[in-house]
């Protein structure tokens, strides 16, 4: 009956024994770049975005509906207490989500030697949502690497990304977009910091600007946080393999291609695109977070 599953169980068991890693941050903050660098390390398998939040939302909803049906059946049919099937408790729901995540990793395309892999990870901007559940239940004991970028640069990159994908067509929309984005950006940073204030050993924060200016040093700190090999040779190889020039198809940082996911690869580009009104909107909306992070408001 379980022929489709049995062939994957050994690999799922192997994956379940690994330590877990999460790379997160606001959209267009350099999370993809860092995820690719970490995935280049022989002890880390972090292939991209598994969209595990969909498992969390969908499975929790399905379990809730299942519980309603089972409880009603037990009430109507098994009136003498003879019911064998019981509603799922929270632990079963979490186990179900964990199994789906492990199955997703097991069916991903990879060329890694998993026997050498210590960490299996995922990158997504959405881990900020329900972070306590991810931290304490679904990915309990996972280590989180949080990439922080000047929110104004992220906003500019997102605007270009939306134009490229056809979801942001008019420049007049930019100021309206900033009003919402500034608040959301500041709140995401605040939520992540507060969530790990009591367990800093599981949290590492890196600024995109620092990683861009000195990738060897700051990648090295991340690898030390994870406790994996961090020799100058391996760091140099990883940085070169994931340079902007290679990822962009040959362009150097600063050479812009608005139609590319890797558009420009620089810090401070917001100064080219923000007028005085945009500056005021972001400063007010972010509520002091710029200064708190060391970015000049």
Whether residue 260 is predicted with pLDDT greater than 90 in this model: the reply is no
Dist CA 153 CA 161 (whole Å): 12
Mean pLDDT for all residues in the chain: 90
In this structure, of 53-67, 104-118, 229-243, 270-284, the range with the lowest mean pLDDT score is 104-118
Examine residue 15 and state whether it is found in any structural domain, yes or no. yes
Q: Is residue 187 part of a domain?
A: no
| 276 falls within a domain | no
Across 51-65, 71-85, 217-231, the highest mean pLDDT is recorded for: 217-231
Is residue 89 over pLDDT 90? yes
Residue 281 domain flag: no
CA distance 36 to 242: 7
Q: Could you tell me the CATH number of the domain that includes residue 247?
A: 3.40.50
Q: How many domains does the chain have?
A: 1
Average pLDDT over residues 50-56: 93
Domain assignment present for 155: no
Residue with token string 């972070």: 131
Residues of the domain holding 40:
3-150+202-258
Task: Find out whether 185 and 286 touch, Cβ atoms under 8 Å.
Answer: yes
Is position 182 within any domain? no
Q: What is the pLDDT of residues 132-162, one digit of tens each?
A: 999 999 999 999 999 999 999 999 998 888 7
Residues 106-118: tens digit of each pLDDT: 888 778 888 899 9
DSSP 20: E
Question: Is residue 100 in some structural domain?
Answer: yes
Tokens of 267: 């810090």
Per-residue pLDDT averaged across 69-80, rounded?
Answer: 89
Write down the pLDDT at residue 52: 94
* pLDDT of res. 251: 67
């Amino acid at each position: 009956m379980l022929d489709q599953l049995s062939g994957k169980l050994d690999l799922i068991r192997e994956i379940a024994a690994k330590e877990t890693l999460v790379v997160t941050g606001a959209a267009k903050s350099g999370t993809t770049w860092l995820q690719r660098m970490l995935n280049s390390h022989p002890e880390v398998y972090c292939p991209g975005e598994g969209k595990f939040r969909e498992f969390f939302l969908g499975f929790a909803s399905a379990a809730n509906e299942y519980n309603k049906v089972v409880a009603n059946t037990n009430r109507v049919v098994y009136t003498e207490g003879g019911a064998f099937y019981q509603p799922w408790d929270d632990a079963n729901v979490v186990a179900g989500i964990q199994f789906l995540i492990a199955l997703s990793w097991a069916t991903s395309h990879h060329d890694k030697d998993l026997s050498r892999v210590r960490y299996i990870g995922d990158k997504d901007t959405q881990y900020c949502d329900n972070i306590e559940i991810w931290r304490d239940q679904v990915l309990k004991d996972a280590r989180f690497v949080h990439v922080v970028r000047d929110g104004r640069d992220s906003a500019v990159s997102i605007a270009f990304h939306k134009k490229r994908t056809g979801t942001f067509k008019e420049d007049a929309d930019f100021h309206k977009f900033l009003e919402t984005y500034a608040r959301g950006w500041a709140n995401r940073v605040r939520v992540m910091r507060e969530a790990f204030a009591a367990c800093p050993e599981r949290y590492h924060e890196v600024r995109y600007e620092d990683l861009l200016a000195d990738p060897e040093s700051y990648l090295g700190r991340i690898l030390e946080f994870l406790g994996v090999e961090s020799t100058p040779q391996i760091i140099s190889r990883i940085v070169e393999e994931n340079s902007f020039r290679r990822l962009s198809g040959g362009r150097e940082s600063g050479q812009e291609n608005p139609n590319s996911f890797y558009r420009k690869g620089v810090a401070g580009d917001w100064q080219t695109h923000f007028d005085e009104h945009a500056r005021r909107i972001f400063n007010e909306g972010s509520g002091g977070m710029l200064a708190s992070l060391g970015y000049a408001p």
